Every structure is written in structure tokens, then in C-alpha cells.
Amino acid sequence: MPQPFSYFRGVYAELKKVRWPNRKEMVRYTTTVVVVCVILFVLTYAFDLLVTKLFQLIGIGS
């Protein structure tokens, strides 16, 4: 049976190999994610409005 702490030693060793992003990269990645989320929100909202109006025109919606 492996020692209980050998797993955590392995995790720690792997975390030391990770190349963490610097502040400039992190800001760029975060900005990209926020912009994509806003674009998807606007597209989803526009599609919802379009479908709602279309249903109202054909008498299905309220």
C-alpha cells in the first residue's frame, strides 16, 4: 500500500512544472473570456427576441 503522502508529493512536484501566466497574459485571457461571454449573450438575446416576435406574428406567442 502506498504511503498516504506520496500522492501529495506527486501533486506538488507536478505543480512545480506548471508554467503560470503572468499578469499581462491573465488580463488578456480574462478580457477575451468576458468579451466572448458578452457577444454570446447579445446573440442569444437577439435570437430570443427574433423568435418571440416571429411567434407573435403567427399567433403562437402571447
Domain carrying residue 42: 21-62
Residue 13 lies in a domain: no
Residue 10 lies in a domain: no
pTM exceeds cut of 0.85: no
Residue 14 lies in a domain: no
Residue 5 lies in a domain: no
19-38 residues labelled b (16+ CB within 10 A) or e (exposed): eeeeeeeeeeeeeeeeeeee
Residue 55 lies in a domain: yes
Residue 12 lies in a domain: no
Domain count, the chain: 1
The position carrying cell 407573435 is 56
Residue 30 lies in a domain: yes
Residue 34 lies in a domain: yes
What is the per-residue pLDDT across 27-60, written as a single tens digit (0 to 9) for each? 999 999 999 999 999 999 999 999 999 999 998 8
